[in-house]
């Protein structure tokens, strides 16, 4: 049994029930709002939401962001199988999760991601599913970077040809020529600084804009009489 | 032995060495910069640093911020005993840590904080030490809130009368009349939203400004001849 692909609740070991409170809030947002795009993920997207880039670029596309700091693939899977895509009909779901699966193999993580893709497809037959690449991490080269890189290759391979599923490369330009990542780009060598957020997420923004634009209802150009 | 008061390194279980890389960066900043104020803490201060409030209010006071997301008192203690206050002579050290000690008692956490205060005092005999109160957490009332509240009382009591040690209350106004905390104030019921950051940290900013102002070298008003 691959732990990355088994829906798993995060245990409330802190005894303040925060994870479940956040999940419940996402369920309310599903009932109350009508998003065109839903972001689902972990700390990378959670951090994105508190930036000017989110406010200026993504929020105007009618995005909701269902991301929780420490989540791994199995936790996102649990959330989606427990209501976070019910009562909504987004045109696009953007999924970025897996960097926190630090104790699994690339194959297990990729399988976990594909299981989430399958869950999204089961719930939303017509939506586009967009998969940005996992980002590198750590100040120096390390096995987490290697794993994330392998996951990206596996996902690109497995998703090639899937209908309305697109990967988008956002992981270039962060590793410097000496192999290090600067704290000017990732303040904790995992999450993006405000300054680097715009640059890193630009290809994602462009892809979302393009999909939304291409799928706008055609304007009827026939004169009305 | 109280685990909160024993200097402890965070094990690199993720195998990307991020915690130590961040610590090493703080050591470089100590060698290269000449801060008037040093912030030391966990996720609460780490989140603060990526806000407009930091840029507009705190950064101009010549602040450095040595905060790491998941740190507990024992980890901050290790960092300080391993160089993070060497080669600097700040006028003020601001310490906010303890909310992540979720498996300890209030007494243990308070003792951990006091051990850090002692370490700061040993290294910086003349600096002011400012202790903002731990913030409440969790959407609903919970034992973490109760513990943080008790820690605040214990610290206020123990620090009363200590020379150049000041507590500052920043934990009011977050809990609503029905006992809940809004995600508009704390997006994950632990860390502050950009919107609430300014309000919550205003008393701290005022205190820092006051201390810095009062301790400015007196301008020599005697005519030079």
Half-sphere exposure of B214 (CA within 13 A, CB side): 9
Please report how many Cα atoms fall inside a 13 Å half-sphere around the Cα of residue B213, on the Cβ side: 6
Q: Mind listing the pLDDT tens digit for each residue in A45-95?
A: 999 999 999 999 999 999 999 999 999 999 999 999 999 999 999 999 999
> What pLDDT is stored for residue A49 in this prediction?
96
Question: In the prediction, which pLDDT does B51 show?
Answer: 95
CA distance B103 to B118: 23
**String of b and e for B9-31 (b: at least 16 CB within 10 Å)?**
ebeeebebbbbebbbebbbebbe
Residue A186: the pLDDT is 98
How far A52 CA sits from the closest chain B CA (Å)?
10
Give tens-digit pLDDT for B70-126. 999 999 999 999 999 999 999 999 999 999 999 999 999 999 999 999 999 999 999
Asked if the Cβ–Cβ distance from A145 to B16 is below 8 Å, we say yes
- Would you state the pLDDT for residue B70? 97
C-alpha dist (Å) from residue A66 to A28, B1, B161: 11, 41, 47
CB within 8 Å: A16 and B194: no
- Mean pLDDT of all residues in B37-48: 98
pLDDT at A218: 66
Indicate the pLDDT class of residue B129, thresholds 50, 70 and 90: very high
Burial environment of residue B154 by CB neighbours within 10 A (0 to 12, 13 to 18, 19 or more): middle
Asked if A73 and A109 count as a contact pair (C-beta separation under 8 A), the reply is yes
Q: Does A224 have pLDDT greater than 60?
A: no
With pLDDT > 70 as the criterion, what percentage of chain A qualifies? 96
What are the tens digits of pLDDT across the range B184-223?
999 999 999 999 999 999 999 999 999 999 988 766 555 5
Confidence band of A36 (pLDDT split at 50, 70, 90): very high
ipTM of the complex: 0.94
- What pLDDT score does A220 carry? 58
CA distance A185 to B77: 27
Chain B residues close to A69, C-beta within 8 Å: 188
Are the Cβ atoms of B21 and A46 closer than 8 angstroms? no
What residues contact residue B124 under an 8 Å CB cut-off, 6+ apart?
B85, B89, B90, B93
Q: What are the chain A neighbours of B15 within 8 Å (beta carbons)?
A: 102, 142-144
In this predicted structure, what is the pLDDT of residue B217?
A: 74
Which pLDDT value is given to residue A115?
Answer: 98
**Tens-place pLDDT, residues B154-183:** 999 999 999 999 999 999 999 999 999 999
Query: How confident is residue A212, by pLDDT bands cut at 50, 70 and 90?
Result: very high
Q: Give the total residue count for chain B.
A: 225
Predicted confidence band at A9 (pLDDT cuts at 50, 70, 90)?
very high
pLDDT in tens, A88-119: 999 999 999 999 999 999 999 999 999 999 99
Is B190 in Cβ contact with A102 (below 8 Å)? Answer: no
Q: Which residues contact A54 (CB under 8 A, 6 or more apart)?
A: A48, A63, A65
Q: Is B164 helix (H, G, I), strand (E, B) or coil?
A: coil
Determine if the pTM surpasses 0.90.
yes
CA dist A14 and B137 (Å) reads 11
Hey, are the CB atoms on B142 and A49 less than 8 Å from each other?
A: no
Average the pLDDT over A188-215 and give the result.
96
Q: What's the pLDDT at A215?
A: 84
Q: Using 50, 70 and 90 to split pLDDT, how confident is the model at A168?
A: very high
pLDDT at B225 over 80: no
Per-residue pLDDT at B50: 94
> Which pLDDT value is given to residue A216?
82
Average pLDDT over residues B38-48: 98
Selected residue of A11, A21, A59 to mutate for chain B interface (largest B Cβ count, 10 A): A21
Q: From CA B65, how far away is CA B158, in angstroms rounded?
A: 25
Q: What is the mean pLDDT of residues A165-189?
A: 98
Mean residue pLDDT of chain A comes to 96
Give percent of chain A above pLDDT 90. Answer: 95
Q: Given pLDDT bands bounded at 50, 70 and 90, which one contains residue A223?
A: low
Judged against a pLDDT cut of 60, whether residue B69 lies above it is answered with: yes
Q: Testing the interface with A: which of B11, B14, B66, B181 to mutate, by most A Cβ within 10 A?
A: B14
Instruction: Return the residue in B13, B21, B149 with the most chain A beta carbons within 10 A, the one to mutate for interface testing.
Output: B21
Closest partner residue to A14 (CB to CB) among B15, B25, B102 is B102
**Inter-chain CB proximity B50 and A50 less than 8 Å:** yes
pLDDT exceeds cutoff 70 at B150: yes
With a cut of 60, say whether residue B224 has pLDDT above it: no
- Structure token pair of residue B138: 């969790």
């Amino acid at each position: 049994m691959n732990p990355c692909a088994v829906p798993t609740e995060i245990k409330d070991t802190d005894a303040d029930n925060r994870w479940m409170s956040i999940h419940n809030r996402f369920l309310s947002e599903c009932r109350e709002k009508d998003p065109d795009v839903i972001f689902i993920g972990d700390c990378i997207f959670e951090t994105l939401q508190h930036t000017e880039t989110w406010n200026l670029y993504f929020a105007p596309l009618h995005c909701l962001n269902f991301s929780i700091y420490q989540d791994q693939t199995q936790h996102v899977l649990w959330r989606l199988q427990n209501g976070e895509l019910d009562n909504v009909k987004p045109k696009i779901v953007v999924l970025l999760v897996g960097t926190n699966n630090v104790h699994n193999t690339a194959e297990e993580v990729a399988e976990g991601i594909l299981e989430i893709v399958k869950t999204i497809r089961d719930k939303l037959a017509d939506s586009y599913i967009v998969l940005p690449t996992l980002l590198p991490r750590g100040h120096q080269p390390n096995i987490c970077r290697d794993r994330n890189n392998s996951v990206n290759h596996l996902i690109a391979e497995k998703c090639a040809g899937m209908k309305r599923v697109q990967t988008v490369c956002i992981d270039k330009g962060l590793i410097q020529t000496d192999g290090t990542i600067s704290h000017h780009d990732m303040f904790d060598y995992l999450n993006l600084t405000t300054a680097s957020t715009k640059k890193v997420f630009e290809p994602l923004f462009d892809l979302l804009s393009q999909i939304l634009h291409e799928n706008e209802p055609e304007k009827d150009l026939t004169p009305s009489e």
